[in-house]
Amino acid sequence: MSKNIWVSLSVIVLGVLAIYLISGVRPDIIFKSIIVSAFGSIYGITETLTKSIPLMLCGIGLSAAFKSSIWNIGAEGQLLMGAVGATWIALYVMPNAPRLILLTVMFLAGAIFGALWAFVPAILKIKFNLNEIIISLMMNYIAIEIVNYLVYGPWRSPFEWGFPYSTKFPSNAQIPRFLDTRIHYPTLLLALFLAVFVHILLKRSKLGYEIKVIGENMEAAKYAGLNISRIIVVILLLSGGLAGLAGVGEVAGIHHRLRVASGISPGYGYTAIIVAWLGKLNPLLIIPVSLLFGGLLVGGDSIQVSLGLPGATINFINGLVLIFVMAQGFSNNRIFVKKGRNRV
Amino acid sequence: MNLIVDILRAAIPAGTPLLLGTLGEIYVERSGILNLGVEGIMIMGAVTAFGVTTLTSNVWLGIFASAIAGGMMALIHAFDCVTLKANQTLSGLALTMLGLGLSGLIGKRYIGMPLSSKLQNVPLKGLVNIPVIGPVLFDQDPLVYISYILAFLFWFFLFNTRFGITLRSVGESPEVADSAGINIPAIQYFAVFLGGIMSGLGGAYLSVAYAPVWIEGMTAGMGWIVLAITIFSLWRPERAILGSYLFGGVRVLQYRLQPLGISPNILNMMPFVFTILVLMIASREISKKRIGAPASLGVSYQREKTL
């Protein structure tokens, strides 16, 4: 373990050095800029909180999946499909419904769309023994193109001066925000509630126990007579549904319309993978970790503007953090015994 | 007929980065290591090749540098998986994020820049006159010809040499290989390094031959398609050729169908939808033939499990 701490430290030092050598911007200035913009002002803090909401929702779902060693890498696509579901309800199904009903149905639709998107890797894993990593990733790329197709094609609004936007949501389909910030607090409260709910689910329920058994030893779980297929489906539906909720929050809480995929999510679904692991796959711990990474995203926007660094810098930092996490053995796979043959 | 020749001829360069990456990943997975970082390594190869070519005006130096860069990136993965015995999935994902991030940082200055010297087509005299096959296979650039040779070598070494047997045994049953005195970490380090070189070359092909430009994130999921073709190929280099050019063909169709008024977004989905379909077919084949992934794929080998 102590060996790994040195590995982690040298990774960070080398990474920071690399940023300096390539960009010519001093690392202390970069980090100061990130921290000040994310946590140094009231506005910064509210933005950090806003960006932590989707990370929280995605991260909570992923923690359940990763705990059962089901590698859902598709939160990004599930989030986007959740956004599509919410937009469909808000603009085409029941735009005139009263606010409470409309928002409830939008969240439900978002969860269902996200869950359905995660159902594809689930069913292919069960029926075709296909690796969920590759399938869920392919589904991300497909979801991105679906969103872009919709906003450039059939759902494009004629009233947006040629921007690839859908029509603006009716006011009843907009999630209320806290004062004049962008914190769409009902989504935040939902995320906090779900963190507690999933925590209890994992700790106390039968499903939680099954998840633990499968995660530690899939083969043994099979011999113990657990219905692995059913559990795989349930877990993927759960994590997909949570990511879908995050998508609803983004379009209904922030943008108030569907827009191109990269405008809805700067990669929340991928960042949430790191959030989940750094949060030790514990939904409660994921709350503070989400705040940290929300701050990193805010800082990432800021260093693009103020220091002229490319947006990819944050990707690089994320990669470093993930290596750090891994080397620390948060996720040591020594506990996983052999998976069966034929697992493609 | 001309149209078909045209499409096939375009499918080969479109499939070449995939072929290079897949050949490498086959060796990596045959050694029991899963490298999900192909996307990140490819994009590092692409930016390195572009940068070094711009710096030296020598496209071959650029290609060479991309191979080295790819190999170095992959060594991080080897260190994680073989030495630290860390989680292979996470290490691969981390590598992808690192590669996408680092290439964006490095490549910022190259955005919108033309490449000083790109890889030119060199029709092979004599061979190019063979009907159909000639123009399709032998009116290409040198890196394509090199990829033909590499495909043959990868096949030959895997199934016809002692090294090939050693590599396969490490991935199939490390316990047996270990007791036979094979240095498992050395084999795995070598395979992962070689895989990195090949992915680096695949990325280089994109930025100095296929596109010749640098665009942030220009691999656009190709690394993940490489992983899918590796499965489709049933971990056999000769089938990787088929798989790669098939996907190259899909990419070509994507461009050819665009003037027909189909939404570019729908066309962009094609390779990914196609990947899923192809994997479903491959999986049927795998269960019918009772073959499968290298048995210890993704599991770090430890002598005397400390369970």
Listed in order, strand segments (DSSP E) in chain A are none
Least confident of B44-58, B202-216, B279-293: B279-293
The verdict on a CB contact (< 8 Å) between B100 and A312 is yes
- Report the distance separating Cα B197 and Cα A51, nearest Å: 38
CB-nearest partner of B97 from A128, A138, A319: A319
Q: Which region holds residue B296: left if phi is over 0, alpha if psi is between -120 and 50, else beta?
A: alpha
With 0-12 CB in 10 A as exposed, 13-18 as middle and 19+ as buried, what is B116? middle
Residue B304: predicted pLDDT: 59
Distance from CA of A193 to the nearest CA of B (A): 28
Q: Enumerate the residues of chain B whose CB falls inside 8 A of the CB of residue A327.
A: 80, 84, 86
Q: What is the mean pLDDT of residues A182-209?
A: 96
Residue matched to tokens 């590796």? B230
- Report the distance separating Cα A190 and Cα A182, nearest Å: 16
What average pLDDT does chain B have?
92
Which of A206, A204, A228, A205 is CA-nearest to residue A215?
A228
Which of B243, B245, B27 is CA-nearest to residue B137?
B245
Helices then strands (H, E): number in chain B?
12, 0
Q: What is the CB-side half-sphere exposure of residue A219 using CA atoms within 13 A? A: 9
CB-nearest partner of B100 from A149, A273, A315: A315
The verdict on a CB contact (< 8 Å) between B100 and A331 is no
Residue B72, H or E segment = helix B59-78
Residue A4: predicted pLDDT: 62
Helices then strands (H, E): number in chain A?
14, 0
Number of cross-chain residue pairs from A and B with Cβ atoms under 8 Å apart = 178
Residue A303, H or E segment = helix A283-307
By residue range, what is the domain housing residue A105? 2-17+24-335
Q: Enumerate the residues of chain A whose CB falls inside 8 A of the CB of residue B251.
A: none
Q: Which amino acid is at A124?
A: L
What average pLDDT does chain A have?
90
Confidence of residue A12 (pLDDT cuts 50, 70, 90): confident
Listed in order, strand segments (DSSP E) in A285-334 are none
Which CATH number does the domain housing residue A168 bear? 1.10.3470
Q: What is the mean pLDDT of residues B179-207?
A: 96
A1 has a pLDDT exceeding 80:
no
Q: What is the mean pLDDT of residues B150-160?
A: 97
Which of A323, A332, A329 is CA-nearest to residue A10?
A323
CB-nearest partner of B87 from A133, A332, A341: A332
Phi and psi angles of residue A176, each rounded to the nearest 5 degrees, phi first = -60, 150
Specify whether the CB–CB gap between A192 and A266 falls below 8 A.
no
Query: Which residues are CB-neighbours of A253 under 8 A, at least 6 positions away?
Result: A53, A174, A175, A177, A182, A184, A186, A187
A13 has a pLDDT exceeding 90:
no
Q: Which residue of A has its CA nearest to B233?
A: A344
Q: What is the mean pLDDT of residues A299-305?
A: 90
Query: How does pLDDT run across B238-251, given as a tens digit for each residue?
Result: 999 999 999 999 99
The DSSP 8-state label assigned to residue A89 in this structure reads: I
A341 has a pLDDT exceeding 60:
no
Residue A2: predicted pLDDT: 52
Count of the separate structural domains present in chain A: 1
The verdict on a CB contact (< 8 Å) between A142 and B96 is no
Q: Which residue has the higher pLDDT, B307 or A280?
A: A280
Q: Which residue has the higher pLDDT, B22 or A34?
A: B22
Which of A85, A82, A134 is CA-nearest to residue A243?
A82
- Report the distance separating Cα A7 and Cα A24, nearest Å: 25
Residue B5, H or E segment = helix B2-30
| Most confident region among A292-306, B55-69, B129-143, B169-183 by mean pLDDT | B55-69
Residue A3: predicted pLDDT: 57
Query: How does pLDDT run across B24-63, given as a tens digit for each residue?
Result: 999 999 999 999 999 999 999 999 999 999 999 999 999 9
Residue B306: predicted pLDDT: 44
Distance from CA of A341 to the nearest CA of B (A): 5
CB-nearest partner of A319 from B101, B106, B286: B101
B86 has a pLDDT exceeding 80:
yes
Q: What is the mean pLDDT of residues B227-247?
A: 95
Q: Which two tokens stand for residue B268?
A: 């962009």
Note whether residue A113 is domain-resident. yes
Note whether residue A343 is domain-resident. no
Query: How does pLDDT run across A124-167, given as a tens digit for each residue?
Result: 999 999 999 999 999 999 999 999 999 999 999 988 788 999 99
Residue A298: predicted pLDDT: 94
Query: Which residues are CB-neighbours of B231 under 8 A, at least 6 positions away?
Result: A131, A134, A344, B279, B282, B293
A216 has a pLDDT exceeding 90:
no
Residue A166's DSSP bridge partners are A156
- Rounded percentage of chain A residues whose pLDDT exceeds 70: 93
Residue A40: predicted pLDDT: 94
Which of A197, A177, A196 is CA-nearest to residue A187?
A177
- Report the distance separating Cα A172 and Cα A97, nearest Å: 7
The residue of A70, A120, A128, A275 whose CB has the most chain B CBs within 10 angstroms, and thus the best one to mutate to test that interface, is: A128
The verdict on a CB contact (< 8 Å) between B306 and A336 is no
A47 has a pLDDT exceeding 50:
yes
> Dihedral (C-alpha) A102, A107, A109, A110: value to the nearest 10 degrees?
140
Residue A156's DSSP bridge partners are A166
ipTM of the complex: 0.92
CB-nearest partner of B227 from A120, A134, A148: A134
Q: Which residue has the higher pLDDT, A12 or B48?
A: B48
Specify whether the CB–CB gap between A280 and A330 falls below 8 A.
yes
The residue of B95, B98, B100, B267 whose CB has the most chain A CBs within 10 angstroms, and thus the best one to mutate to test that interface, is: B98
Distance from CA of A176 to the nearest CA of B (A): 33
Confidence of residue B135 (pLDDT cuts 50, 70, 90): confident
Note whether residue A344 is domain-resident. no
A85 has a pLDDT exceeding 50:
yes
- Report the distance separating Cα A201 and Cα A194, nearest Å: 10
How many beta carbons lie within 10 A of that of residue A177, not counting itself?
Answer: 17
What is the residue extent of each domain of chain B?
2-112+121-289
The verdict on a CB contact (< 8 Å) between B98 and A326 is no
Which of A12, A30, A70, A27 is CA-nearest to residue A281?
A70
B277 has a pLDDT exceeding 60:
yes
Which of A145, A271, A13 is CA-nearest to residue B101?
A271
Q: What is the mean pLDDT of residues B123-127?
A: 89
Specify whether the CB–CB gap between A240 and A117 falls below 8 A.
yes
Listed in order, strand segments (DSSP E) in B117-252 are none
A339 has a pLDDT exceeding 80:
no
Q: For the packed helices A283-307 and A42-67, what is the interaxial angle rounded to 10 degrees?
A: 130
- Report the distance separating Cα B120 and Cα B212, nearest Å: 11
Residue B301: predicted pLDDT: 80
Q: Which residue has the higher pLDDT, A178 or B290?
A: A178
Query: Which residues are CB-neighbours of A223 under 8 A, at least 6 positions away?
Result: none
Separation of CA B54 from chain center: 24
Phi and psi angles of residue A166, each rounded to the nearest 5 degrees, phi first = -80, 175
Residue A321: predicted pLDDT: 86
CB-nearest partner of B283 from A19, A129, A318: A129
Which of B93, B110, B90 is CA-nearest to residue A267?
B93
Angle, CA of B298, B304 and B307, to the nearest 5°: 75
Q: Which residue has the higher pLDDT, A31 or A136?
A: A136
A199 has a pLDDT exceeding 70:
yes
A252 has a pLDDT exceeding 60:
yes
Distance from CA of B271 to the nearest CA of A (A): 9
What is the CATH code for B2-112+121-289? 1.10.3470
Note whether residue A283 is domain-resident. yes
The verdict on a CB contact (< 8 Å) between A138 and B276 is yes
Confidence of residue A330 (pLDDT cuts 50, 70, 90): low
Q: Which residue of B has its CA nearest to A267?
A: B97
With 0-12 CB in 10 A as exposed, 13-18 as middle and 19+ as buried, what is A330? middle
